[in-house]
A = this chain, B = another copy of it.
């Protein structure tokens, strides 16, 4: 008997997209970007995203503090909103809670979720609470709102664009690696457990018309960039030595959970965007390669030479 999961996460998403392709609403764009887009008319749209975190798949409850888990549950969703180029404006939280959580656990979880909600003034507008027979499951839906002209989609990369990331890659993956290896004093573990979504960066990049395509890095550059390439039907060349990282490059490109933004910028405007980003945020926007015409293939270069490493992104199956 074939296991229903053998087609993998992206196979299942493709199947759902095909099966539900007969249902559309004017002004709504669904599966295929970090968020769905729902036009509200008058030049503005809502964006909506949802993510599920499951115990022993996305986190180990023995290692992550409830505060960090609450913070992270919202962070991964705000990162998806930011990747659309607009500001988050509301969230919904559903919890399936196993018996026997220690006293204060839920309170600390909610404090972490609340801390990030306060930081970006994102009210919690609803959700669901239930018990669970086994592990803890957390489902968050986040909404954002902004001008249609600020929305950044995966399909808008153009040949000639410069490819940028908003920060260092691989720290989170190194943290997970160290955690699973039992090196519990690793300074990377807190980064894995407490990601900071690039909300202000996303909103600013959204306001720049020179920024074409954008997405957040959640499954690792090697996997995520391919979504932009397929959606835009373009090729990318990435210079491995330009990837900002302080860990082995394989973790930086294939590790996942970076929650930095990846964007493509019109080449002639790229120096100005880079300069203004650094002036505003006090840290660089890192150019790592460029978009070129061609089939959606990701070319890695090291010192100018094409290389063929076996780097794949993270999938949840």
Contact = CB atoms under 8 A, between A and B. Distances in A.
A31 B124 contact: yes
Given A4-B104, A40-B41, A125-B28, A139 B94 contact: yes
A1 B105 CA distance: 12
A106 B50 contact: no
Interface stretch (A12-20, A231-239, A240-248, A264-272): A12-20
A121 B25 contact: yes
A303 interface: no
Contact of A36 (B30, B51, B92, B94): B92
B55 A117 contact: no
Contact of A52 (B16, B20, B90, B130): B130
Contact of A135 (B2, B41, B104, B133): B133
A215 B96 CA distance: 23
Contacts of A123: 20, 23-25, 28, 30
Contact of A15 (B50, B110, B118): B110
Interface residues of A, number: 80
A5 B99 contact: yes
Contacts of A125: 28-31, 36, 38, 48
B5 A141 contact: no
Given A3-B99, A19-B114, A137-B96, A128 B41 contact: no
Contact of A41 (B16, B38, B42): B42
Nearest to A124: B20
A139 B56 CA distance: 18
A58 interface: yes
Nearest to A8: B129
Contacts of A20: 114, 117, 123-124
A25 B42 CA distance: 20
Contacts of A141: 48, 50, 92, 141
A304 interface: no
A22 interface: yes
B139 A50 contact: yes
B130 A57 contact: yes
B58 A130 contact: yes
Given A36-B92, A52-B137, A137-B139, 6 more contacts: A9-B130, A30-B90, A46-B46, A48-B125, A49-B126, A50-B139
Interface of A: 1-5, 9, 12-13, 15-16, 19-20, 22-25, 28-31, 35-36, 38, 40-42, 46, 48-52, 54-58, 89-90, 92-97, 99-107, 110-111, 114, 117-118, 121-135, 137, 139, 141, 143, 316-317
- Closest 3 CB pairs between A and B? A134-B134, A30-B125, A139-B139
